[in-house]
Amino acid sequence: MIEFFYETTVEVDELKYTDWIIGCVGAYGKSIDYLNYIFCDDEYLLEKNKQYLSHDYYTDILTFPYESQKGIAGDIFISVDRVKENSNLYNSSSKEELRRVMIHGVLHLMGFGDKSKNEREEMRKEEDACLILFHVKH
């Protein structure tokens, strides 16, 4: 259902995060068909950004949805370098920022956007709600 792949080193509690993500998705009345997290560095994700989106800039996350009859499905690529940088920028811990980015990708797969100001505000609200669920459970 949820798999984790590592192109770089990062500490991920796979059991806790799997339980939390399944709980978040379930809170929206949805299920997971399959979800792949690929943790990588800036250069790896930059190449994916160029290759698939024709964007020549660093990003913290790329989410690729797949069709599924059962539930949400997709690949979520996360730059550990950007997560660390963002945690400094937003004055949060690296672990908390990693969880925020992980759930951000899941929210994209459930249909939440972040292109407009209103969408970004809604996305942040949903991220915060999911992060609260993590802290309640763990």
- Check: CATH 3.40.390.30 for 2-137? yes
CB 104 within 8 A of CB 24: no
Q: Model confidence at 137, in pLDDT bands (50, 70, 90)? A: confident
CA Rg, the chain, in Å?
14
Indicate if the pLDDT at residue 98 is higher than 80: yes
Q: Tell me the torsion sign for CA atoms 7, 135, 107, 57.
A: negative
Indicate if the pLDDT at residue 25 is higher than 90: yes
Predicted confidence (pLDDT) per residue in 34-51, tens digit: 999 999 999 999 999 999
Which residue, chain included where needed, has tokens 């802290």?
135
Indicate if the pLDDT at residue 4 is higher than 80: yes
> What pLDDT is attached to residue 69?
84
Closest to 97 (Cα-Cα) out of 87, 89, 111? 87
Percent of the chain with pLDDT over 70: 99
**Residue spans per domain, the chain:** 2-137
> What pLDDT is attached to residue 20?
97
Q: What is the helix, strand, coil percentage profile of the chain, to 5?
A: 55, 20, 30
pTM here?
A: 0.95
- DSSP lists the bridge partners of residue 75 as 36, 64
> What pLDDT is attached to residue 132?
96
Identify the residue with better confidence: 138 or 45. 45
| Cα distance between residue 72 and residue 31, in whole Å | 6
Q: What is the token pair recorded at 23?
A: 């709980």
Q: For 114, which DSSP code?
A: -
Q: What is the token pair recorded at 102?
A: 């992980």
